[in-house]
Chains A and B, each alone.
Chain A
Amino acid sequence: MWIEFIFYSAFLSQILLISYHYPKRILSRMDCIFERCPADKYAKLYPNGYEKTLEGKILYKLLNTIILVMGLVVFVTFIIANQQGNIELKDMNFLPFAFGILQALPFLILEVSALKQLKLMRNLNDQSKRQAELSPRSIFNYVSPVRFFTAVVMFFVSTLVMFSFNDFKISSDIAILFGSMIFCNGLFIGLGYSLLHGKKLDPHQSPEDRNKMTTTVFRSYTSVSILVSVFFIINRCVDYYSLDNWEPLFNSLYWQCVVLLSTGAMLKFTKLEEVNYDVYKTNTSSHT
């Protein structure tokens, strides 16, 4: 009974953290930016126009509200079904992940629309002067070698644990887990490489802000990579020791940790008052 109570708490926390707490913080940041940087003075910040940006904000709020209500309905339904004995806890191990993916959808839409805005910003950029740092960027400018190598070592430890629990035989389960770990870390490597050596996403962003953003992103990537390795070790342990009732709880906690280390870290380390918004000011100099 107590394991069910812990899972209820964890799942409720997942619903509220990802679909209420973080969206609320993101929306208040948006409001703060809209207030601080009005469209008439900071036109470069709104390449799509202020109204479009506002529409995006409303859509984001609406999606999160719908998902929050859905989550609470699923939560109550699950408790009733479980209490009536219609469903067991071990049958619910897919729920935290499946619902987590749904919860991630508004964040994904927000991310994609931000990338589109930045692309438009680059296309509209008519500044003739361009700046660059005369020093090479390396991953160790942004994360400590200890943190980086911990992530690498954890990857190998997790692979070893995964295969050793399966007597070093390749089964479809192991192949899927190993494939998803490779995919996840590969994605981080690709995104990290493009951050280091790729095109400047925001053409107006000051070098200091770019450095801060890159540091936060790399910290987040390494933390999530370590977390993914730890999760796969736990997943194999749960399977090996037949701790089926614990799996939904671990899945829910894992998903929350991923959001804490990615979105949470981004919100914590990127302080609005430290961002240089002057670079987005409308050009007032007249050409004669």
Chain B
Amino acid sequence: MQITIDIDDPMPIFSQLVVQIKQAVASEKVKPGDPLPSIRQLANDLDVNSKTVSKAYKLLERDAVIQTRGYRGTFVHPQAKDNCQIDLKAWMTNQFEEFIAKMKDAGVTDSEMRITFSNVLNDK
């Protein structure tokens, strides 16, 4: 299974990697438990910075599409195919909508929400 990146593409390289690995999982070109190349190998093969590949792997790990098993390397997550279907952006929007509705019911204004959100985010 080959992946191709285009450095002239406006989409960031790490996003291209995330999309293509997710596509490979969804189309079962790679199966749960299959080993993936190391960050160093993939970065060298694509001639990109290893931080770029590391960022893509971190995002895929967060979405439970891949999992790192210490020194043994990186593998496709057992539930990778199901997790690939989850649209994190839509899920986040839904969570925010529910939360904002609850705050408005409690009488919190938009600007108060913005300031609090910004403060909490900055504290993190």
Indicate the member of A130, A137, A198, A203 with the most B CB atoms within 10 Å.
Answer: A130
- Alpha-carbon separation in the docked complex, A133 to B38 (Å): 11
Question: B residues within 8 A CB of A199?
Answer: 44, 47
A196 to B46, CA, bound (A): 14
Q: Which residue of A lies closest to B42 (CB)?
A: A132
- How many residue pairs link A and B with beta carbons under 8 A? The number is 67
A85 contacts the other chain (CB 8 A): no
Contact with B along A110-128 (1 / 0, CB 8 A): 0000000000001000001
Interface residues on B, range: 20 to 34
Residues of B within 8 A of A207 (CB): 2
Chain B's closest residue to A194 (CB) is B44
Is A134 touching B6 in the complex (CB atoms < 8 A)?
Answer: no
Q: In the complex, which residue of chain A has the Cβ closest to the Cβ of B38? A: A136
Contacting pair A136 B4 (CB below 8 A): no
The B interface, classified by DSSP as helix, strand, loop or mixed, is: mixed
> Is B1's CB within 8 Å of the partner chain A?
yes
A207-B45 Cα distance, complex, nearest whole Å:
10
Q: Are B47 and A128 touching (Cβ within 8 A)?
A: no
Nearest CB in chain B to that of A122: its residue: B47
**A98-151 CB contacts (< 8 Å) to partner B:** 122, 128-137
Contact in complex: A134, B41 (CB < 8 Å)? no
Known: A132-B46, A199-B47, A203-B47. 16 other contacts (CB 8 A): A130-B4, A130-B45, A131-B3, A134-B1, A134-B2, A134-B21, A134-B30, A135-B34, A136-B35, A136-B37, A136-B38, A136-B41, A137-B41, A200-B45, A200-B47, A207-B2
5 contacts across the A-B interface (CB closer than 8 A)? A130-B6, A134-B1, A135-B35, A136-B35, A199-B47
Using CB atoms and an 8 Å cutoff, list the residues of chain A in contact with chain B: 122, 128-137, 196-200, 203, 207
